[in-house]
Structure 1
Amino acid sequence: MGKASGILRVAAAEVGYLEKASNAGLDSKTANAGSNNWTKYGKWYGLNGPEAYWCHMFISWCAAQSGNAGIIPRTASCYNGKDWFAERGRFHLRAAYTPRAGDVVYFSTRQYPNGGGHVGIVEKVENGYVYTIEGNTSGASGVVANGGGVARKSYPLGYPSIYGYGNPKYEQEEPDMTEAQVKQIIEKTKEAEQYNSVEECPAWARPTIEKLVQKGYLQGDEDGNLELSFDLMRNLVINDRAHLYG
């Protein structure tokens, strides 16, 4: 299982890629540019050429390159992709959901309604807009479902052509500590050389220490004091967040 930040890094690096006029120069961003739907994403998927509309192949490729292949479907069909998320209870209609970074956004078009027309990756949500990275589109406003390149786009959250969102089950990412939390940790370290109970530990460490005490991995002295140094406590938390303790 990968992270949303991983797929976004991969997708962002592809912005500016142009589809090719023929089966040549596929790995170059701009060489042999044309309008025949030849791409490195289609080469990877196994479907290339004039009829190989590649917006979802791009999404699937980004997922595979970022360690997210198991939580985002490998498909060339927006309908199949949408249904894949729905079958797992991870698809949300636009009106009932606030998207998150890393979500897969499905668009309706006149020819392909109900989320079957186009697809992109949500990069961020800000000030009432959803910002995306999309393949087989262009920088023109609105949904461009066969535009020939990878581009960043933006839409109001209520944009009618947004049908809904697939929400991949990414690995949870720990939020950065605030400046106040960092200062609190430093002050606590100055005040005491050791932490003798779960309650004395900083809030960010308590779940880990409590888990290890309950499992019997951490045992206090004869008076029940844990005698945890700050460095040991920090290393235990790092290991726990790496899922080493189950």
Structure 2
Amino acid sequence: MISPDVVINIALNEEGYFEKSRSAYIIDKDVIYSKFEGAGKDNITKYGFEMHNLYPQTMDFPAAWCDAFVDWCFFKAYGLDKSKELLCGRFDDYTVSSAQLYKNKKRWITKNPVPGDQIFFKNSSRICHTGLVYKVDKKYVYTIEGNTSNKDVLVANGGIVAKKKYSINYSNIAGYGRPNYDVRATCQFGDCNANVTYLQQRLMAKGYQLPKNGADGDFGNETLMALKQFMYDNKITQSLFCTKECWEKLL
């Protein structure tokens, strides 16, 4: 099992990022890694840049980047192969195509969203914007979005990463893609990623100490010993990776 908290936390940490101007990027290409410096309106971001280098077939740069932001967060959270699996097949910065990937896998819903869903918005003609759900209550759905503004209305080309909220029945919500978080996480001895950090945090929450390295995201000997002890204590077959049964008992 993969926790949606990993991708949500990565996305929330990006709040406040501004897209960059072409002139600032020409002077210093590393400006894309600053949250605030070089702000502009030219769709130049680290999300688009890195995803284009990774998957140029369907990720343009510079280009409208709301979907690149979501895909980047999944990639940083779960790695290349697992993030594509969660996103139903591939990375794609065209929101219409991204929504269709979920529909093709029968993972498209139009009501009852939950944290970790990818939200899609529509205008009068098509799906035009996307973000990530981080919280839901009886009245509102709360999102973190790229290429928007901090106003709680649909803004499909606003230039920043912002937290937003909408009425659960907001007319511009087209629907939600639900990643399959039930697939086994890429989390085994030797890995170094955000999902390992989450595993370490869950082990420590259950009382299994990692005194030397803590939750450092590196699945080394200390983490392996703690995991094996957890498996032994819970009568789980010993393994070099965190199995589905193990995740179920950790969460």
**TM-score when scaled to structure 1?**
0.68
Q: Post-superposition shift, 1:236?
A: 2.1
In structure 2, the CA distance between the partners of 1:90 and 1:232, relative to structure 1 (3 Å rule), is closer
**1:202 counterpart residue number:** none
In structure 2, the CA distance between the partners of 1:103 and 1:236, relative to structure 1 (3 Å rule), is same
Look up the SS of the partner of 2:13 in the other structure. helix
Distance 1:75 1:27 in 2: 22
Query: Unpaired runs of 5+ in structure 1?
Result: 177-181, 183-230
Contact preservation (8 Å) 1:137, 1:148: yes
Deviations for 1:24-72, whole angstroms, at most 9, x for unmatched residues?
A: 30111111011111000110122223xx000001111111100033211
Looking at secondary structure, tell me which structure has more helix per residue.
2
**1:26 counterpart residue number:** 32
Count of aligned residue pairs for this structure pair: 185
Matched ranges for 1:69-218 at <5 A: 69-72=84-87, 73-93=90-110, 97-110=111-124, 112-113=125-126, 116-171=127-182
Look up the SS of the partner of 1:14 in the other structure. coil
Contact preservation (8 Å) 1:122, 1:132: yes
Distance 1:131 1:239 in 2: 40
RMSD: 2.9
In structure 2, the CA distance between the partners of 1:239 and 1:3, relative to structure 1 (3 Å rule), is farther
Contact preservation (8 Å) 1:137, 1:150: yes
Distance 2:138 2:21 in 1: 39
Q: Post-superposition shift, 1:92?
A: 1.1
Q: Post-superposition shift, 1:234?
A: 2.9
In structure 2, the CA distance between the partners of 1:99 and 1:31, relative to structure 1 (3 Å rule), is same
Matched ranges for 1:39-78 at <5 A: 39-46=45-52, 47-49=60-62, 52-67=63-78, 68-72=83-87, 73-78=90-95
Distance 2:39 2:12 in 1: 19
Identity, % of aligned positions: 32
Larger Rg: 1
**1:13 counterpart residue number:** 13
Q: Post-superposition shift, 1:233?
A: 6.3
**TM-score when scaled to structure 2?**
0.66
Distance 1:238 1:107 in 2: 44
Contact preservation (8 Å) 1:102, 1:168: yes
Look up the SS of the partner of 1:117 in the other structure. strand
Look up the SS of the partner of 1:133 in the other structure. strand
Look up the SS of the partner of 1:119 in the other structure. strand
In structure 2, the CA distance between the partners of 1:235 and 1:146, relative to structure 1 (3 Å rule), is same
Deviations for 1:141-179, whole angstroms, at most 9, x for unmatched residues?
A: 2011000010000001100000100000013799x9xxx
**2:188 counterpart residue number:** none
Distance 2:128 2:244 in 1: 43
Contact preservation (8 Å) 1:26, 1:39: yes
Distance 2:244 2:163 in 1: 38
In structure 2, the CA distance between the partners of 1:80 and 1:28, relative to structure 1 (3 Å rule), is same
